[in-house]
Amino acid sequence: MIKKERIQEKELLKAFSAFETAMKARINHIRIWKFDDAPEELQALSQNGGDEDWVALIPPKLIEEWIPFLEEGTPFGCCSVREYEHPELPGYKVRIGSHS
């Protein structure tokens, strides 16, 4: 019985690995955090000085897209939206919205 369970486990891991690879190829969603909840390495990119509200992580597939809700003058960044290169993920952009 143990051998059968190991085979099933290996098949499951193989299927999960294939699924994970397929999902990585389709990453086309934007992740948004309140500034204080964002990963520290993304918070550290900000040069605003304390008035940050939101952080957005944008994948390479969406960099060239117009994303109106992440523009300056919106609730995301009513006064300022700055864009930075992600420190660890090549091609990803980080936008930080601030209220001053």
DSSP lists the bridge partners of residue 17 as none
Domains of the chain by residue range: 28-98
> Token pair of 67, please?
């994303």
Q: Is this prediction's pTM over 0.75? A: no
CB 54, CB 94: distance < 8 Å: no
Q: What is the pLDDT along the chain (100 residues), one digit of tens a residue?
A: 566 566 677 776 776 666 666 556 667 899 999 999 999 999 999 998 889 999 999 999 999 999 999 999 999 999 999 999 999 999 999 999 999 8
Cα 6 from Cα 9, distance rounded (Å): 5
